[in-house]
Structures are given as structure tokens and as C-alpha cells.
Structure 1
């Protein structure tokens, strides 16, 4: 038994690390600092050397990098803003905002999701202690800004979203989509699917099935997976829905899922079988005969206490550590086609905690893709 289990650490024996802490501390020693040094040099060149009274000569006059976290323009993780989207294929990861909440059926506000996520992402650095990954040293990330959505026309907005995500995916960059309500799940997967020769699987975290055909006579945020699984190469057998439950799962959507043979896993299912086994089951379903898998993460899969800033909060959802473990296993297992985080609504948020978990899900996904060698993509 180690330190913390009732035994004292022997005198002079060194730190009493647990397995994860030992890996983290030892892994940090092997991480390079090359990209950070380039960032510092660029800051000094483009932001002017600091005032004469500044002792630390790595500090420029104008903020041009990670520090200070409260300064700078709000891009995701302070990644460079790429105005010319035709160049996104020069980067490993391209972040795209989709500020659309025209598919919302109750509390609007997710159009401000991309802004909220970008803003709080400045709190983060590029290094994860537990994962042993420094994104700055491993991959290149750009922020393409936002897709020009049409707030008064759902179908035109969908066409814009599909065109934008198709462009990013075809370029070879890994798309990270900042939503937006969950209606965007249909046009994002449509944009990816058109560039596949095989099938696309979907791993969908949510408290709601989102599989009915229409809601309020339109394709709304309760309908994306009905229409996605109508696409010829997005079969419903490869749709796995994780965390479904509560008092907000419309019966028409449940009926569609039952008839089409989609896979549903409740929070209780996942907790009782264990997150590791639940993740393995989800991977088996999504990847069964599929060429690629899209990860769609609705923040309301978490218990309402952790995500006040969402349109349909529901008690009884996952704990953050359960979701993060789940996401890490999925991203470690195989290369993903991309990720979207949806239903983050800053007008309803408290202390930006919903935007923060949105950021963390993305960072952990990227970190595990890097750790397992899935990013950067190899030619």
C-alpha cells in the first residue's frame, strides 16, 4: 500500500506518487519546448521588447502569446486567427464557430456559445498534467472564426454549415466545432459524410435522443439524428447515444430510434457497467463497419448542477469526471473525424462553468488524440 493508505512514507524515499502522478511528472520531463520558444521570439519581434524596467526579457510590450491569460483577442486557446480559410489545411486542427440557435425550441442563447467558449478557453494553457501532452508542442491549431449563419432561415443556415465543415474536413485539418444548438449536428455530419467513400458513425453524448423527424414543423435541435441517419452513408446502426434519460425525451424520437435500431445508453447503464466498458461498447457500435466516426457532445449530458448555461438542463446526468474519462477512452481508441460541442448558452451560465466544461471536453479530446498518435495526421 502506498502513501495515503495509512502508511507513512519512509524517510528519504522520495515522493510518494500514485501511478497517474508518477506518469505525469516523468512525462513532462520529455516534452519539448521548441514551439514555446518560437512563440516567445515571435512575441518580442511583433509585440516589441518589454519596457526597460521589466526584468524578464521574454515579456513583450504587447501581448502576443499565451500570457497574460486575461489579455489578447478571444480565439480558442489563443490560437492564431486564420482569416483566409483556404489555408486551413496548413494546420492540424481548425476551430470553427457555428453561432446558430435558430433550431432552439425553448431557451435561446447558444448563438453566443462560440464567444463564451473562446473567452474562457484563455484560462487554459496548452499543457495537460495528467495526459502528459503539450498541444503547443505537438500540433498546430488555427481558429477560422465563425460560419455566416442565417438566423431567420434554418435550411440556408444548414447549407452554410455543411459547406464550411466540408471545406475543413476535405482540407485535412481536424474540425473542432463550437456550437450553437444541436440542430447543427445534421449539417455538420452531412458536410463530413460527403467526403467519405464508406460509412460515418456517430457517438452522441446527450440527455435527449434528438431523433424525431420534425419539431414545431421544422428540423430543430430535437431532430438532427433523424436526418443524419437518412443520409446514405450514415446508417442508424452506427449511431450510439450516451446519457439519454429524464423527463425531456419526446416519445416520437424514442419511437424512431427503436424502429431504426439505434443504440441508447443511459447514465445508469454506463455507471453500473463502468465507464471503461461503456466506452468500449460505444466504440464497438460506432465503428462497426464505419470509415470514420464523428463525436457530437451536448453539454446537457452532464448533471444540471454542472451546466446551468444550457437550454434544457436535466438533473441526473453524468459527473464531469465520468464524462471526461469517457471522452478520453474514445479519443485514445481511434482517429476521429471531428468533434462538435453544442448547447452551451452563456446567457444562462454561472461563472462560465458551462463554457469551461465545453473547453475541457475539446482539450481532452485533442490531448488524447495526440497522446495516442492520431494527431497530427500522418500522410
Structure 2
């Protein structure tokens, strides 16, 4: 393999780096060229003193990373939600923390994730994927949640997620506390003829029937697995452990037959084997699988901005490897929850939330599952 210049690659690359460099040389630049042309058309050509004539007067598109409107990855904001099916991936926020039982602030999660996502470009070195060249992404903004009313908010979220999923777009839901796991799954399940499996990353089981007399962020999977086509046997829970696992939830999981893997389980069996077990459980007889990622599955040192931080969780590289393996198979969509910017430090919790989403999309693209027409 040679570089695009025709110069042979030397032998000092590491194996992963060499493969990454080779893949980059094969990627198109059509999307980037289109973005530059659009920026010059809509944002006016730059001042005469600017040498790089690809730069517009007004920021349009990816650059500069510190400027622009806060959409996810600076994707276009689509106000007419009826057109969401024209895009491969659709991002929507669920700004709700009415289900929290300790630290609040996850209602600001969608904005925090969008803000730090401006730090990222569309290309990932190791994956050899450029999202701008592979898929179209739109940001629909946020679901109109109802502060102080959990059930009405659930209905709003189910309708929103169901609308996006039924359009053919891949939904990316920015939480919000984990109570939204129930309405997101409900919204997808209503549009399936078969069963829906769930791969759930968390330090907490979230399978109680109620908490503080309501359906809180500790209860989504009790109610989700009450849905006829979301059986508990297809719920796999990864990273559970510590001192924040209420016994009623453990009892429900045992009785219903959910699958739990602790951090130690995953590390000792190996991330590859753990991911394969998760896929086997979630996909057993299922038509589709939903990915629910709670940032508190990571060690508390890496996610200070969350409602129930718990030491002893995963390292970021372990989680990202897990995501790479899980997203080698098709997914119905993803939610990332429990990001609370008011408690964050240097936006590192929002950053890992963004990274999980980007890696999921990149791995689905690399495996041919996005755009969906490519994997159908």
C-alpha cells in the first residue's frame, strides 16, 4: 500500500496506525468539498486579506470548532420534524431530570453534549471512518418535556422517538435522566412486529417497579420489560455493581431472568467475550436491539458530572472497545443518559457521552449498518 502521493509507507508504523493511514487514503472528500462550497455560498467569501479562499466570512459547517450554533457535531438543525426521514441519523434531546432521586441537572445534558461535540470533527483515525462522507445527520432539537409531570413527559418522548424511528432514520437520544429509557424503548417497540432487545450499560440495575412512589430513573427496565415485545430475557445489563444497587431491583431482575455482568466479570472474561455474550442475549429471537448507555457505568473519576457517581466502573478505553464490538451488529438506536453538566468538571462527562455516540455511529458505518439502506 502506498500513500496517495505515491510514496510507499515506511515500516515504522504500529499495526493499527498503519491500517488507519491506509484507510484514510481511500476515503472520499466529496462531503467536505460540498461543505466548503456551501459555506462560501451562504457565508460569503472571506475578506481579501485571507489567503485560504476556502474560508467564508461567516462560519458555516465544522470550522472553527469554537464558533457556530450548538447542534450535535454541528449537524444542520431541522425545524420541520416531518422531514427527518430524509436523513440517515437524527439527534434529539430529552431534557428531563424529573426522575432523578439525588443530583439533578440532567435536563441540561443535551445542551452540554451538543456544546462539547463541537470539539470533534467527523473523521476518526483508528476506525478509518469519515461520517461526513458516509451518512447524513440532522439535529431535531429537543422534545418538549413537561417539568413536574413524569407521565406526560414519557408520552412526549415515546411519540418523538417513535416518529424518528418509523421514518427510517437512526435515532440518537441525548438524555436526560435514565427514566427516559422506558419511553424511548416504548416508542421503538410500537413500530416492531417482533421483539426488541436491550443492551444496557450502567452501574445500577434500574429494575425497580417504583422509587419514591413514582417511575423514576431507577425503574425504566421494570416497565420496559412489561411491554409484550420487550422480554426481560433480552435485557443484558453491563457494569452493574457497587453500593447503589437497591435490593428490590436485584430481586426483580432475578425473577424476570435478566442478564447481569459486573465490571469484574467483563474484565476477567475479556471485553471481546463479554461483548459477544451481550450480543447473544440481546439478539436471541429479537428483531432489533436498543443501546442504552448510562455514563455512570464509567469509574466516577471519569464522569463527575452525573447524578449517582460510583467508583469501580469501567475505564473509557474498555467502554469504547465494548461499543466497537456491540456496534459491529445493527442497532435500532442509542440513548446516552445521566449527563449532568452542573456537576461536571472541564466538560469531561459530556465529552465521553459524545465519544460514545460518535464511536457507535462510526462502527455502524464501518460494519455497513449505516446508512440503513447499506445494511438492508
TM-score range (shorter-chain normalised) is: over 0.9
Give the Cα–Cα distance (whole angstroms) in 1 for the partners of residues 28 and 134 of structure 2.
Answer: 9
Work out which of the residue numbers 320, 332, 342 in structure 2 matches 1:337: 332
Corresponding residue number in structure 2 for 1:96: 92
Give the alignment of 1:357-368 within 5 angstroms.
357-368=352-363
Corresponding residue number in structure 2 for 1:176: 172
Deviation at 1:14, TM superposition (A): 2.2
Corresponding residue number in structure 1 for 2:61: 65
2:327 is paired with a residue whose SS is helix
1:347 is paired with a residue whose SS is helix
2:174 is paired with a residue whose SS is strand
Give the Cα–Cα distance (whole angstroms) in 1 for the partners of residues 363 and 16 of structure 2.
Answer: 15
Give the Cα–Cα distance (whole angstroms) in 1 for the partners of residues 337 and 283 of structure 2.
Answer: 22
Give the alignment of 1:181-196 within 5 angstroms.
181-196=177-192
Corresponding residue number in structure 2 for 1:244: 240
Q: Does 1:372 align with 2:367?
A: yes
User: What CA deviation, in whole Å up to 9, does each residue of 1:190-216 have, x standing for no partner?
Assistant: 000000000000000000000000000
Q: TM-score, normalised by structure 1?
A: 0.96
Q: Which runs of 4+ in 1 moved over 4 A?
A: none
User: What CA deviation, in whole Å up to 9, does each residue of 1:45-93 have, x standing for no partner?
Assistant: 0000000000000000000010000000000000000000000000000
Q: TM-score, normalised by structure 2?
A: 0.97
Work out which of the residue numbers 66, 70, 79 in structure 2 matches 1:74: 70
Q: Does 1:140 align with 2:115?
A: no
User: What CA deviation, in whole Å up to 9, does each residue of 1:142-165 have, x standing for no partner?
Assistant: 000000000110000000000000
Q: Does 1:284 align with 2:248?
A: no
Work out which of the residue numbers 309, 317, 320 in structure 2 matches 1:321: 317
Give the Cα–Cα distance (whole angstroms) in 2 for the partners of residues 54 and 353 of structure 1.
Answer: 34
* RMSD, aligned CA: 0.9
Deviation at 1:120, TM superposition (A): 0.1
Corresponding residue number in structure 2 for 1:37: 33
The unaligned stretches of length 5 or more in structure 2 are 1-7
Give the Cα–Cα distance (whole angstroms) in 2 for the partners of residues 142 and 263 of structure 1.
Answer: 34
Deviation at 1:15, TM superposition (A): 3.9
Give the Cα–Cα distance (whole angstroms) in 1 for the partners of residues 231 and 96 of structure 2.
Answer: 26
1:283 is paired with a residue whose SS is helix
Deviation at 1:16, TM superposition (A): 1.0
Corresponding residue number in structure 2 for 1:126: 122
Give the Cα–Cα distance (whole angstroms) in 2 for the partners of residues 377 and 287 of structure 1.
Answer: 18
User: What CA deviation, in whole Å up to 9, does each residue of 1:138-186 have, x standing for no partner?
Assistant: 0000000000000110000000000000000000000000000000000
Give the alignment of 1:17-36 within 5 angstroms.
17-36=13-32
The unaligned stretches of length 5 or more in structure 1 are 1-11
Work out which of the residue numbers 219, 227, 233 in structure 2 matches 1:231: 227
1:304 is paired with a residue whose SS is coil
Give the Cα–Cα distance (whole angstroms) in 2 for the partners of residues 150 and 325 of structure 1.
Answer: 36
User: What CA deviation, in whole Å up to 9, does each residue of 1:322-361 have, x standing for no partner?
Assistant: 00000010001x2100000000000000000000000000
Corresponding residue number in structure 2 for 1:3: none
Work out which of the residue numbers 82, 85, 89 in structure 1 matches 2:81: 85
Deviation at 1:222, TM superposition (A): 0.1
Corresponding residue number in structure 2 for 1:350: 345
Deviation at 1:19, TM superposition (A): 1.6
Q: Does 1:269 align with 2:262?
A: no
Deviation at 1:13, TM superposition (A): 8.8
